[in-house]
Amino acid sequence: MSETPVFPELRNDRFLRALQRQPVDITPVWMMRQAGRYLPEYRATRADAGSFMDLCRNQDFACEVTLQPLERFPLDAAILFSDILTVPDAMDLGLYFETGEGPKFRKVVRTLADVEALPVPDVERDLDYVMRAVTRIRHALNGRVPLIGFSGSPWTLATYMVEGGSSKDFRHIKSMLYANAEALHLLLDKLAHTVTEYLNAQIRAGAQAVQIFDTWGGVLSTPAYLEFSLRYMEQIVHGLIREHQGRKIPVILFTKNGAQWLESMAATGADALGLDWTYEIGAARQRVGHRVALQGNMDPSALFGSPASIRAEVARILDSFGTGDGHIFNLGHGISQYADPEHAKAFVQAVHELSPAYHK
């Protein structure tokens, strides 16, 4: 973008302060996939857009669905509505979505020649629709809450590019890892450079924090995780814009099923680590809470319970984390498309009502 946009002053910054382990009055809360299929208004907008990628590529539609959950719930952050696969899509792999089957690519990347032939996108040009959406959303938020930008991790993006879509056994990429590590490292390095530029472009366009989603890092052994996933996320963290327009830009790393590597993740320079629901947040705080903020980590399936049981689970997690700052409440993964919006509302309200006692 040629000019740096100017935005209204932020009125609720407790999310950004919590990411930096600064004092807050209430534990801030947002939900991964908070704009999505569980909301009837999202489904209506998705139908108007014509396809999922048309929804992502239209800045007005992307803005509309980003704001929809904020109209229902008193959330403390908005997250850009987009998809992690916009980056490989910009590498001319032919992204498409089959109903009921998830994302697929018409071309796959499995050899050194495939990797070498991959174009490196100009993110400002090839993904300009994302930057336009970021700026449009920031203006529409009008300072209400911060806006989070995001990307998939290089390892997670590579899994889709090598497998050709979703996978249960990761056979092709693990074969590449063990039989052709040179090609995989070249692919991951290309992706790390692209993701760094992509997130920096989002920051310049108006994102006030960024999250790196490492959805599939947890399928790796410890040596493989450190070499093929965390190494490249750390490279990205070191290449990011960390202050923009007078404010620090916090970075969140989220590796699903990655609690065994918390200390290594905390050493990357990230400001916060996301936790899934399989590890106790109090134990995570004892291990790394003096170095990073923690985000999470209620099981998304808890939203299928009653409002009373949701409130009890929120209370349990708040008590597990304990008093003090550095906690951003979230689900341990994305909200289910089958979740009742009224239960999501009960979840957010419970966080805001119960958490002040932990910030005295």
In a domain, 338, yes or no: no
Is residue 83 annotated as involved in ligand binding? Answer: yes
Report the predicted TM-score, pTM, of the whole model to 2 decimal places. 0.96
Is residue 129 annotated as involved in ligand binding? Answer: no
In a domain, 226, yes or no: yes
In a domain, 80, yes or no: yes
Q: Can you give the C-alpha Rg of the chain in angstroms? A: 19
Is residue 36 annotated as involved in ligand binding? Answer: yes
Is residue 37 annotated as involved in ligand binding? Answer: yes
Position 156 scores a pLDDT of 98
Position 265 scores a pLDDT of 98
Q: Which of 38, 42, 126, 160 is catalytic?
A: 160
Q: Which of 14, 17, 21, 46 is catalytic?
A: 46
In a domain, 172, yes or no: yes
Position 2 scores a pLDDT of 53
User: Catalytic: 83?
Assistant: yes
User: Catalytic: 72?
Assistant: no
User: Catalytic: 46?
Assistant: yes
Spatial contact of 314 and 351, defined as CB atoms under 8 Å apart: yes
Is residue 311 annotated as involved in ligand binding? Answer: no
Is residue 34 annotated as involved in ligand binding? Answer: yes
Q: Which of 14, 33, 138, 231 is catalytic?
A: 33
In a domain, 2, yes or no: no
CATH number for the domain spanning 65: value is 3.20.20.210
Distance in angstroms (rounded) separating the CA atoms of residues 340 and 222: 37
In a domain, 348, yes or no: no
Q: Which of 72, 83, 96, 114 is catalytic?
A: 83
In a domain, 121, yes or no: yes
Is residue 35 annotated as involved in ligand binding? Answer: yes
Residues of the chain with pLDDT under 70: 1-2, 100
Position 97 scores a pLDDT of 82
User: Catalytic: 37?
Assistant: yes
Distance in angstroms (rounded) separating the CA atoms of residues 116 and 105: 18
User: Catalytic: 33?
Assistant: yes
Closest CA to 130 of 50, 209, 199, 52: 199
In a domain, 300, yes or no: no
Spatial contact of 318 and 358, defined as CB atoms under 8 Å apart: yes
Residue 132 domain boundaries: 37-282
Number of structural domains (the chain) is 1
Residue with tokens 């995001």: 150
